[in-house]
Every structure is written in structure tokens, then in C-alpha cells.
Structure 1
Amino acid sequence: MSSFDRVASSNAPAAAPVAADEVPEYVLELERAASYLDDDQRAQLRKAWRIGALAHAGQTRKSGEPYITHPVAVAKVLAEQGLDVETLIAAILHDTLEDTELGRDELVVEFGETVAELVDGVTKLDKLQFRDRQEAAAESFRKMLLAMSRDLRVILIKLADRLHNMRTLGAQKPESRMRIARETLEIYAPIAQRLGMNLFKAELQDLGFRAMHPWRHAVIEKRIRTQPVMRRELLAQIEANLAQKLAKEKLIHRLVSRVKSPWSIYTKMRTEHKSFKQVMDVFGFRVVVRNVGDCYRALGVVHSVYKPLDSRFRDFIAIPKANGYQSLHTVLFGPYGSPVEVQIRTEEMDLVAERGIAAHWSYKFGGDGFNGAQSRAHHWVTNLVESQRSAGSSLEFLENVKVDLFPDEVYVFTPKGDILSLPRNSTALDFAYAVHTDIGNTAVAARVDGKLVPLRTRLASGQRIDVITAKSATPKPQWLEFVVTGKARTAIRQQLKQLEHEDAVQIGHRMLDRALEAMDTSLERVPAARLDAFLSEHRYPRLEALLADIALGNRMPQHVAVALVRERGNGPGRRDEEVRGPSAEAIQITGTEKGVISFANCCLPVPGDEIMGYHTAGKGIVVHRHDCPNVAEYRKSPERWVPIGWDREVRGDFHAALKIEVDNRPGALAQIAAAIAEAKANIDRVEYLERDANVAVLRFGIEVTDRSHIADVMRKVRKVTVALGVQRI
């Protein structure tokens, strides 16, 4: 049963069968809304209602009405959008599979495979067990998107279902109203907007706002209704002037005045920190003309009546929004300096703007009738499906989708001139992943309008982006700090996990080899049956999983070696104490091993230092300098020592710290920073350790390549006259 509004009364009397000639008013309303269907199709609707009413017999909504009134109302919402008969039937029956005895096979027999598939796609996952309600909602949303990828009509039914639930939200408890309203504003209204369905979006936002903040909604709504007489007269004057000028130019048009919704005004007041009086463009006009050429002619006309506001013109006809929306937007200086927003579009653009993918509905993807809004929507859903396969959890996927549903977008060009739309604040790296995952994974820099920029550079509409890649490049954890799109975030996490796993397997292999060498054997000489038995006993699906666990410190390599060498069933084998200590051969590291090797903050080792490794459960190998004060404590656990050394090819920057004593006078800090920069080292942190009138002691956190690089930095700092002393921490 729906988590929103249904109470199945177990002790409610079964509904009496509906007489053949007894048709409730709510069914007749549906048939009137679906008058565009032929007689046979409307007969199918009535048949669906009878089957649904019988299936839901005895079930009521929290308002006390028979439950069947809800799915019929959902179908009526869709009929008002002109949807096909299969969608309307599926809407009437959309809760039957989940909440009644009606089975999928019966739906197929009565109405065909398509209707059954649509109903199955909409069915929620309330019967599954999840850790919490949030995860259940996220998993339900994930399943809905998978169903959408097969047929976009699934989301239309789901949106209509949510819209009717919002219209009848009053029967819910206050906490339920808040939860449902928040979910509507965060997920369903943005989806409607992303699919170009502005009528659905506007009503969902208004109902959600009213449920979450009833007092704020009432105040703003009253202020809109009670605008000063002067403002209303002013708008009438503007409308008359525009209509007169358009008529003089012989432009066949439809001029519609429009009022911003309370939700739109409220969000503008919050984001721009304005009072209601300061939100001047509460009212606006829409000019609907015959064709695209007339749109630009009408733009010239309105600009001749009132001066346009600089930088507020947007051409969404030449560059449509991602949801297929097309229109010209301009803001004019009205009488007395009040701004007036004007939208100019064709009748077809107006239809798509209001109904989105529901406009000119076509049944199959890729057909001739598949309009632009539907093509864009299908492309978006396909990308989401690809993203959800890589997401670590339903909650992570849901968060990524929320980011992708940002209403503000930037439009940028590929080197070939194709247009890509990205969420607001997207970076060059987001663009790279939008083009292709492989391009994102190997990106090193980008050119924006021919100028070389770093990957974290934020993009603006109209820019031309060219991504520079390198075969050896790999994603970095820092990338997650600045990417915006869900696709980029998911791809980076997946690749980092893969790289970490590969590094862990490699390090674990070396550690187990060393432990086996100490017992005069090797992994290759361990019988396959014995290895398989060990993996099975400890529930490892593959050898790689065991090796990764060893590297991460969850299993000691010496203990694994003993278990693999010990004779099974042939008397006692070697005891643990007979195992020799680790061989002198050290594991060579490059410093780029991800997730397995970490560098201790207490001593900050860099290439060239004498180092040792300490095997820590869950953290892998933590690298310390030999002269680290903590090493004495670690020597008490020799079984956790890991002999390691630096590989010949060490790459990357390593953290180090210097304690510098300086004359405490103006400009001293800048001189020290300049000396460090001259040595080509980055400063990532500066803090004062001590300070008095004459001397200051500072700690500089820097990034260097190796020990000789630190020495070079220290030499250059000592040459600065204000430096009294420098030492490595």
C-alpha cells in the first residue's frame, strides 16, 4: 500500500460490486478529460476502472474515500496532458501489483504487455527491507529511473501520482506532510522541470511550499493579490502599449500576462536577500507568435517600446535548455523604471514549455515523431542509468541526481561545435567527463577559448572547451572537492577504488611472497587445492581479495604463510614461532600507491629518507622515518614491521615541514615565502608557533619532491636576511 496516503482497512467491509449502469462522477470526469480518445479506447478505460475498483475493494485513503478514486484521479491528470490510452490504463492500475491480489499475468491478458510493463515500472519498493526510510526512498527512485530508461511514460505516471498526492496532502499528519513536501521540492519538481513539464513543476512547487511553510506562502500570496492599484494600472498600460505596437507591425500574436508564483518569489527573496518590495519583476508578459522569424521581429518591437535592461537578454531558441525549452527572454525598463520580463516564443515552443515530454506524445523512441524534448529527456535518463551502475549505493546515486537537477545551467561548446549543457558551477573536469568517462579519467588540463587553464576552472555559457589528456594520467582524490556533476563524481570514485584495489593487491602479493620466502617456499609452490581451501574457509571470492586484505593490515602475511605451508591432515606442521622473521629484502615504493601506503604526520618522510613501514589494521602500511620518535614504540611489535625502501622512480609531491625563526618585522613572511617559491616548492600551510616583539617562529607546511629538494629550500631560506634559523621538523 502507498506510503503516502493509504490505509487498507483490514476490517472494512468489502465494497459492493458496481452495477453495470452505475458509473461514479469521478470516472465520468476522467472520460470527459480523455474525450480525444475513440469509443473503444474509452471503453478500455472503463474496463480498467472496474478491474481496479474490484482489486482495491475495502481499501480507503486517509480521507476516508475509496482508494480507487486516487488512481483514477492520477489518470485524469494525465488525460489533461493528452497522454495515450496505455498510459491512462497503467495509471488506473498503478498500485494493483503492489497492494492487491491482481497479478502481472492478469494485466498482460487483459491489457497487454506494455501496460503491465508500465505498472511494474511504477510499482514502489515498500515491501523490501531497508536500513531506513531514506534508503528505501533512494532505492525506489533508482528503480523508477531504470524503468524510465525503458519507457519515459513511467515517470509521467509517477509525477501525476505525486501531484495528486500533493493536492490531497491535508489528510496526512504534520510530520508526514513535511517529509512528502520536502521530497517533492527536492526531487519531483526538479524532475518535472528537467523534463520540460512546467505546468507540473509549478504546481508541485506551489503545493510543496504551501505544505512546508503555510504562513510564508499565505503572506506572499496575499501580497500578490493585493498589489497597489498603481502597479496594476501600470501593468495594464504596459500590456496596451505592447499589444498596440505588435498590431501595428502586423505580427499575429497572443499576449498573455503572467504572475510569478509564491515559490518563485520566495526563492528569489532568499537567494538574493531581498524583501518583497525589492522583487520588482513579480509580473511579466508572454508573447506567442507563429514562427521563429516572428519571434525575433517581436523582440525588436518590444525593444522599440521600452529599453531593454543590459545583460538580461537570453536566447534559448538558438541554444535550447537541456529540457528542450525554447524562448527569447528579455527584461525591459517599464514606466517609472520598473523592470518587466517578457518571454517570446512560438505556439509549438509554448506547448513544449508547458508540457515538456508529454507534448506530441510518441510511443517509441527514435521514431519520426520523437520530439526534441523527448530526445533530450531520454538522453538524460540514459546517462543516469549509466551513472547508477557505477554508484556505490542508492543514497550516493540519489545525491548525484539531486546535483544534476540544478535548475541553472551553463551551455558550452565542444571543439567540433556541439553544445553541452552542464549544471551551474561546473568545471572543465565536469566537461571532460560529460564528453566521455575515459577523457575525464586521463584529463590533465583544458583550453577554454584557446587559453590553457587548470581542470578546476569554472565554466561560463558560450565558452569553447578543449580537454588535454595524457595516457599515464589517473584521477586524483582532490578532484572530488571541486567537481559538480554526479557523472564525474561517480566515475572518479569508481576509478579511485579500482586503482586502490590494484595497488593493494600488488603490495599484498609482495608481502605474502616475503613471508613465504622466509619459510623457504613461494606462492607459486603452494598447492592450488590448499590455496583454494584457505580462500574458501575465510570466505575470499578470489586470491586478489586476500592479497588486498593483507596489504590493508586486516591479515598478517606471516600468519597466512603459516596456514598455507602447514600440512593438512598429515600431522603437525610448522608452528608460528618456527617461522623466520622477515627477509632483509625491502618492498620498494613509489609513493603513489593509493589506499595502501600512507605517510605518518609525526615525521613526514620524503624520498631519500631512511624509512620503515608499520602494518596497521585497516590503514595498510604507515611509513615513518627511522629517526621518528614514535619508532621506538613500534619496535615492541616486530611482527608488524615491514622493511620498505624508495623505488628508483619516485613520482609526485610529498608533504614536509620547516620551522623557521625570523625577525618579526613587516614583510618578513613575504620574503620567506618568496625564497620557498624560488626553490620551486609549494606552500600549503603557514602558522605561528611563537611570536614576540623581536622574533617570530613559524611552521611552514610545504610540498617537495625529495630530500635534496628540502635541502635546496632550506639553503635559499637561510640566504634571506630576515631568517635567523631554519630546521626540518
Structure 2
Amino acid sequence: MLRQYELVDRVLSYDPTADEALLNRAYVFSMAAHGSQKRANGDPYFSHPIEVAGILTDLNLDDETIATAILHDTIEDTLATPEQVEKSFGPAVARLVDGVTKLSKIEAQSESQRAAENLRKFLLAMSDDIRVLLVKLADRLHNMRTLKYIPAEAKRRRIARETMDIYAPLAERIGMYEFMTEMQTLAFRELEPEAYDSIVRRLDQLKEGGGDRVARISSGIRLLLGQKGIKAEVEGREKHPYSIWRKMTERHISFEQLSDVMAFRVVLEDDEQCYRALGLLHGRWPMVPGRFKDYISTPKRNGYRSLHTAVIHSERVRIEIQIRTAKMHAEAEYGVAAHWAYKQGGTIQPDVKSRWIRDLVEILDHASSAEELLEHTRMAMYQDRIFAFTPKGELIQLPKGATPVDFAYAVHTDLGDQTVGAKINGRVVPLRTPIKNGDQVQILRSAAQEPQAAWMSFAATGKARASIRRFVRQKEQAEMVALGRRFYDAIVARLPAQLGPNALDEAIRRLKVTDADRLMEQIARGILTDEQVMEALMPGSAKQVGAAPRAARAVSMKGLTPGVAFTLAQCCTPVPGDRIVGVRLTDRPVEVHVIECPVLQAAPEEDWVDLAWGDGSEGGTARLNVIVRNEPGSLGVMAGILGAQGANIVNLTLSQRDQSFHTFHVVIEVHDVAHLMRILAGLRAADAIASAERMEPQPPLLAA
């Protein structure tokens, strides 16, 4: 453990103007606060914050950050209070300590809820001052270094999984690859001990069998560049066990089949030398196609810059080579910590504002549950990226598998919300089309457009999915309130007397809901029955009125969106004009069936609600059974009639064929029943079509 004077001397060695008194006070305060507390390995607990501070001195961080590291556990794990910290060290250090402090364990919450709430507070604090993240990463790194001393295996695995899912990607996102690599290696050793040991053994065998191959190849690269007047620092190493394991699992290959287990770094003076060195290396050894990446001209989202390539070396091995300047190398190792700018008032911020941090904070506002927050945050921090361009040439970075919807939300949330179509490289494509590296993407927008729930099936980024979910959730809530008011009006109409002016407020109080909107929503979702609402509005009325005919509860669906406040049942596919009945399902949208649907037989009649389509109702899908003659062109005749009638074919299935006739099940989009009747009449009039009928509702599947 670092002694007090050693820690202070370290800081003064790179920052002679540092507040020495601040550091000394923090050291003494933390030692006194932690007292006789011990860590799992038997060391004084005080050793942990000092080691965290020591890690941060390697990054040449300022005195406030070092003091924060020394104090970061005092509020959570000792009797020290935030007020004491602020009084002794000032508001800036107190704010940083509060941002780093982990939430106390709440046993009533699940592990995911605790992790999510901890992450929520952490990200909000980090968005104000990224030094919070640096202290937290150093804290987690030291905890991982001492993880083996925790006796409970379940706790060790939980910490390792959290490190792998959250903290290692966070380190990668701000370019701190040394932190990321060590955390991944330590977490991998805990989560997959057999795989870790196997890969380490294989690497040791490789070293023994090939001699000092890394040194020989490094020397060869240095000699090649030196002959052309380029002075370079060349370092080589075997890849880290986790990196090797991930490639083995992604490519589904064994260790023996993995040829690129060595990586080399070439550090030069300037950008021009980087490109010259690249040409020399490609001229000397064959390049591996598809493995070259130019992160100098197009840096990664975290500001990382370097040239990456892979070549087939003369020793019959494939090697990866990174080419960069000394400045690029410092930023690659320590990210934002490598280039601090002192601002007026003493606040330190990175030179470039990290856009991904803003995206994460936006996700905080959209996530409705702990699981959602963790899902979206992990998506936002995934490492595999592609580069795409706007029509004006702006570079947008996205995860692999991203679609135009993800691209639109990455540009701006409003653009994502209003997306109606997209062009990739000048060609109109479906919104679910994956974007490839280097594509130019143009988003087509309309102010009348809204996010669609169907986008969730192909949106790949946390920001896009969170925005879509937020809109769908808000729309569902608004429509549920509107539908509930219609049910409420029907309930009030059945009461034996007119309600007084305060009846609704009294009902809200009796039913213990927060307000009228929540009452209407619970009525629509079937959480509250008609009888419960009646009794709350007018005690004794439910028995007096009794069960009402369904016609007395008819509700219009005008203005409501299919799939949000109600769903059209797939067993009978009702369309506007059909006589319909709704089934109120607890905490789910009302399910709409045609009156003849056999599924209604299984639903209690008290859950039925007579529904009316309302003027201007949107169309739906209808299922047809069409028998065509087995003659050339018959299918074309059917398609031509459907097209002439303005019926879009959603699905077409050949269900039966024989020598004379083919039977097709056709799903089409129609406006209403009248439109459907015109389509059927047109089909029946054609000589090529033997019959055309609307398919009967399908009975429910019987349990085996």
C-alpha cells in the first residue's frame, strides 16, 4: 500500500501546483473513517481507496480526482456524512464522491434492479463530470484484482459478469483500452475458468515451441522500416485470453485453427509516416483481405485513431499490426484521461464531448424498468461498429446489424420519430435493411409519421429501441385512458340515478388510484370491473342494477389504433363493417372478435363488450380461400383482380393442389366489409377462378 508521502509525491511529480494539503487531509480523513475495517483478503480496508488513487496517479489526474478516489467509499462504508465531506473538502470533491458512491443494498429489490439503479445514478453523475467514471473504473479494476479473495463463488461471478457487461465496455467507450483489457481478462478467468486455463496453457506451449517468435518478428518489422529511414518503436505480444476466446466462439473454430494470435504495435512520429509504414509492410508481406481499417481518417466514436491491418508473415503465421503516432498511442491506452483541458473554475472536462454519454443519459429517461435500462445500456456500449455517412458527408457510427431506423435516431430523435423510408447509396430500401460499412444513408421523413411498434423487431441500437418503446408506451397509455372513458360513460349510463359533482373524486379515493386518468386506464385494462366502479361511484348500485345487456355497454373504437388500445383477433380477422365483440383481458388490450367467432364461447360473457367501428375506421386483413383452375395464367388473373380492386396481398399460401384445381389461402388488406364483398364478386366472375370465399373463423386450439 502507498504511504501518505508516496502518494502526494506521485501527484506533485506531474502537477507541482496540486493542493498538497487537500491530499493530506483526504488521506487522514479516510484512514480515520475506515478505522479497523478489513477487506476479504485480511488487508486494512483503507488500502483499497489508496490503491485506487494510485491507479489514477498513473493517469496524471488532478488533485480533486485523487482526493475523490481516497474518499470514494467513506460515505457508504463508514459513519462519515456527505455534509462532513463537503465541509472538509469543498463542494466539487463532495459532488464527485457522491457520484461514485455505490447505492446501499436494498434486499427487497432484485439483483437486476439494484444493478440498474446503481447504473442510473452513476450515468447521471458521469454526464456532469466524466472524472466520476474514471474513479469508478479504477475502483472496479482494483476490486477485480482482488476478486479471488471473496469466498462466495456466486458473489464473485456476479461482480465479474457486471464488469464484463458494463464496466469493461464503459472503459472501451472512452478509449481506456488498458483498463478494458485487464478487466475483461480478470472477469473471463472467473466466469470461464476452464476456458481461461486452456488458452493460457496453449499460449505457453506456443511460446516454448516457437522460441521467442514475437521478438524476432518485432525486430524484422523494425529493420524493414529502418532501411527506409523510418524510426519506429515496435512492440509485440500474444493476444489476451479473452480476445482469443471471443474469436474462437464467434468463428466457431478451435485454438489450432486460430492463426492470428499475435499482435504488433508500430509507433511513429507523424501521420505521414504511418501511411508510409503501411505501404512498406503491405509491400513486404501479403495483406489479409478485409482486415485493413483506417481509424486515422475515420476515428472511432471514442476518438481512437490508428491504422489496423493483418499480414501473412514469412514465418507462416498471420499477424495483426497497429500503426499509430505517439500521441495516438497515449490516447489509445488511456483515452480521455490522456488529454485533459483545465477550464475556468477548476472543472476538468475532456477536450471532446462524448456523444455516446448523451445517448446513455437519454436512454435513462426512456427506460421503464431495470431490465430495459440494462438492455439498452449494454446495446449502447457494444464494441463492434460500422461507419455510415449522411448525404452531406457526416460520419455516423453504429453497431453491426444497424438499420436505417437506427441511423435516423443516431442523427436526431425527431428524425427517427418521423422516418417513413430510406435510401442507401441512392436506392430505396426497406427500413429493416442492414447498413454496411461505408454506406451513404438518406432518411425520408414526414411530419405526419409516428414511431411504429413493428420497428422493435429490427432496431439494433439502445437509443432507437428506447425511443420507440417510450412512444408506444405513451400512445398505449393515452389510448387506454380514452377507451376507459368510453367504458366509464357506459357504466355511468347504467346507474339508477344521476351522479353528484363529487362522485368521481370519491370513487378515485375509494378505489385508491392516483387520479382520473389512472382510473380510466384500469377500467380499460380490466383491472377494475364494472361492478367495482359502480360501487365506488354509487354504493349499493351494482346489486340494484344487476347484469346489463351488452348492448347497453356498446363502445366506439373511433380514433383508437389497432394493436395499441385493442387488437384484432387473428382467429377471425375482423374488418370494419363486421359485427364485433370485445373481450376485456386483464392488463392487456381489448381483443376484438367477430360475433360468430368460436373463441368467444370460451370467454365469460361478463367480459364481453359490444363494440362499434366508428366513422373512418382503418381497414384490416381478410383471409380468403380461393380455388383456381390449373391452367397457365390463372394465378396472374387472381392477382390482377386483387390489384385492380386495390387489395394488397399480405400472404399467399398454396394449401392444396390436384390435377384440375389449386387451392390458395390468401391474406389481403381491405378497407371494410363492402370492399371485401366487391373483391369476392370480382374473383367469382372470372372464368379462371372456380370459387372464392372468406375463410371461417378458426376454432381455438385444444390442449393436448
What TM-score, normalized to structure 1?
0.85
Paired residue type of 2:597? C
Find the counterpart in structure 1 of residue 40 from structure 2: 62
- 2:549 matches 1:549: no
Paired residue type of 1:551? A
- 2:126 matches 1:148: yes
Paired residue type of 1:151? D
Q: Distance in 2 between matches of 1:573 and 1:504?
A: 24
Residue 202 of structure 1 deviates from its aligned partner by 0.8
Q: Distance in 1 between matches of 2:637 and 2:47?
A: 77
Residue 77 of structure 1 deviates from its aligned partner by 0.9
Q: 1:197 aligns with which of 176, 192, 195?
A: 176
Residue 708 of structure 1 deviates from its aligned partner by 4.7
- 2:624 matches 1:658: yes
- 2:645 matches 1:645: no
Given that residues 595 and 620 in structure 1 are in contact (C-alpha distance below 8 angstroms), is that contact kept between their aligned partners in structure 2?
yes
- 2:695 matches 1:728: yes
Residue 415 of structure 1 deviates from its aligned partner by 2.9
Q: Distance in 2 between matches of 1:324 and 1:645?
A: 58
Find the counterpart in structure 1 of residue 558 from structure 2: 589
Find the counterpart in structure 2 of residue 73 from structure 1: 51
Find the counterpart in structure 2 of residue 6 from structure 1: none
Find the counterpart in structure 2 of residue 16 from structure 1: none
Find the counterpart in structure 2 of residue 612 from structure 1: 581
Find the counterpart in structure 2 of residue 296 from structure 1: 275
Find the counterpart in structure 2 of residue 208 from structure 1: 187
Q: 1:222 aligns with which of 190, 193, 201?
A: 201
Paired residue type of 2:382? F
Structure 2 CA distance for partners of 1:716 and 1:200, relative to 1, 3 Å? farther
Q: 1:487 aligns with which of 463, 470, 482?
A: 463
Q: Deviations over 1:689-715 (max 9, x none)?
A: x89999987755554443355456656
Q: Deviations over 1:282-326 (max 9, x none)?
A: 113211112222222222222222232333211101111011100
Find the counterpart in structure 2 of residue 427 from structure 1: 403
Q: Distance in 1 between matches of 2:386 and 2:344?
A: 27
Find the counterpart in structure 2 of residue 625 from structure 1: 594
Paired residue type of 2:308? H
Q: 1:533 aligns with which of 480, 499, 506?
A: 506
Q: Deviations over 1:657-682 (max 9, x none)?
A: 33456899999999989987887433
- 2:157 matches 1:184: no
- 2:571 matches 1:602: yes
Secondary structure at 1:589 match in 2: coil
Given that residues 142 and 394 in structure 1 are in contact (C-alpha distance below 8 angstroms), is that contact kept between their aligned partners in structure 2?
no
* Identity, % of aligned positions: 36
Structure 2 CA distance for partners of 1:682 and 1:521, relative to 1, 3 Å? farther
- 2:479 matches 1:503: yes
Q: Distance in 2 between matches of 1:369 and 1:56?
A: 29
Q: Which runs of 5+ in 1 are unaligned?
A: 1-23
Q: Distance in 1 between matches of 2:544 and 2:590?
A: 26
Structure 2 CA distance for partners of 1:623 and 1:365, relative to 1, 3 Å? farther
Residue 547 of structure 1 deviates from its aligned partner by 2.4
Residue 66 of structure 1 deviates from its aligned partner by 0.9
Find the counterpart in structure 2 of residue 102 from structure 1: 80
Q: 2:229 aligns with which of 250, 253, 257?
A: 250
Q: Distance in 2 between matches of 1:75 and 1:617?
A: 54
RMSD across aligned positions (CA): 3.6
Given that residues 121 and 144 in structure 1 are in contact (C-alpha distance below 8 angstroms), is that contact kept between their aligned partners in structure 2?
yes
- 2:418 matches 1:442: yes
Q: How does 1:273-312 map to 2 (within 5 A)?
A: 273-312=252-291
Given that residues 496 and 545 in structure 2 are in contact (C-alpha distance below 8 angstroms), is that contact kept between their aligned partners in structure 1?
no
Q: How does 1:85-164 map to 2 (within 5 A)?
A: 85-164=63-142
Structure 2 CA distance for partners of 1:345 and 1:537, relative to 1, 3 Å? same
Paired residue type of 2:260? D
Given that residues 199 and 354 in structure 1 are in contact (C-alpha distance below 8 angstroms), is that contact kept between their aligned partners in structure 2?
yes
Secondary structure at 2:574 match in 1: coil
Residue 83 of structure 1 deviates from its aligned partner by 1.2
Q: Deviations over 1:185-228 (max 9, x none)?
A: 11111111111000101111111111222332222223223326
Q: Distance in 1 between matches of 2:194 and 2:584?
A: 60
Secondary structure at 2:341 match in 1: coil
Paired residue type of 2:611? I
Given that residues 627 and 664 in structure 2 are in contact (C-alpha distance below 8 angstroms), is that contact kept between their aligned partners in structure 1?
yes
Given that residues 429 and 443 in structure 1 are in contact (C-alpha distance below 8 angstroms), is that contact kept between their aligned partners in structure 2?
yes
Q: Distance in 1 between matches of 2:345 and 2:462?
A: 26
Residue 84 of structure 1 deviates from its aligned partner by 1.2
Given that residues 356 and 380 in structure 2 are in contact (C-alpha distance below 8 angstroms), is that contact kept between their aligned partners in structure 1?
no
Q: Distance in 2 between matches of 1:171 and 1:559?
A: 58
Worse-superposed segment, 358-367 or 254-263: 358-367
Q: Distance in 2 between matches of 1:605 and 1:580?
A: 22
Paired residue type of 2:99? G
Q: Distance in 2 between matches of 1:42 and 1:618?
A: 61
Secondary structure at 1:268 match in 2: helix
Q: Distance in 1 between matches of 2:384 and 2:302?
A: 12
Q: 2:366 aligns with which of 390, 393, 412?
A: 390
Secondary structure at 2:321 match in 1: strand
Paired residue type of 1:537? R
Q: Distance in 2 between matches of 1:338 and 1:664?
A: 62
- 2:433 matches 1:457: yes
Find the counterpart in structure 1 of residue 380 from structure 2: 404
Structure 2 CA distance for partners of 1:714 and 1:366, relative to 1, 3 Å? farther
Given that residues 281 and 341 in structure 1 are in contact (C-alpha distance below 8 angstroms), is that contact kept between their aligned partners in structure 2?
yes
Paired residue type of 1:503? E
Given that residues 71 and 92 in structure 1 are in contact (C-alpha distance below 8 angstroms), is that contact kept between their aligned partners in structure 2?
yes
- 2:643 matches 1:681: no
Q: Distance in 1 between matches of 2:512 and 2:175?
A: 50
Q: Deviations over 1:610-633 (max 9, x none)?
A: 323344443454322233345577
Paired residue type of 2:360? L
Given that residues 562 and 579 in structure 1 are in contact (C-alpha distance below 8 angstroms), is that contact kept between their aligned partners in structure 2?
no
Q: Distance in 1 between matches of 2:406 and 2:545?
A: 53
Secondary structure at 1:60 match in 2: coil
Q: Distance in 1 between matches of 2:188 and 2:542?
A: 73
Q: Distance in 1 between matches of 2:17 and 2:579?
A: 88
- 2:453 matches 1:477: yes
Paired residues, number: 692
Q: Deviations over 1:339-393 (max 9, x none)?
A: 2222111111100000011112335599998555x522xx322221121012102
Q: Which runs of 5+ in 2 are unaligned?
A: 697-704
Structure 2 CA distance for partners of 1:179 and 1:431, relative to 1, 3 Å? same
Structure 2 CA distance for partners of 1:632 and 1:117, relative to 1, 3 Å? closer
Residue 405 of structure 1 deviates from its aligned partner by 1.3
Secondary structure at 2:38 match in 1: strand
Residue 407 of structure 1 deviates from its aligned partner by 0.8
Q: How does 1:366-385 map to 2 (within 5 A)?
A: 371=350, 374-376=352-354, 379-385=355-361
Q: Distance in 2 between matches of 1:331 and 1:371?
A: 32
Structure 2 CA distance for partners of 1:369 and 1:244, relative to 1, 3 Å? farther
What TM-score, normalized to structure 2?
0.88
Secondary structure at 1:658 match in 2: strand
Worse-superposed segment, 700-709 or 303-312: 700-709
Given that residues 113 and 370 in structure 2 are in contact (C-alpha distance below 8 angstroms), is that contact kept between their aligned partners in structure 1?
yes
Find the counterpart in structure 2 of residue 264 from structure 1: 243
Secondary structure at 1:647 match in 2: coil
Paired residue type of 1:398? L
Q: Distance in 2 between matches of 1:288 and 1:56?
A: 44
Structure 2 CA distance for partners of 1:580 and 1:205, relative to 1, 3 Å? closer
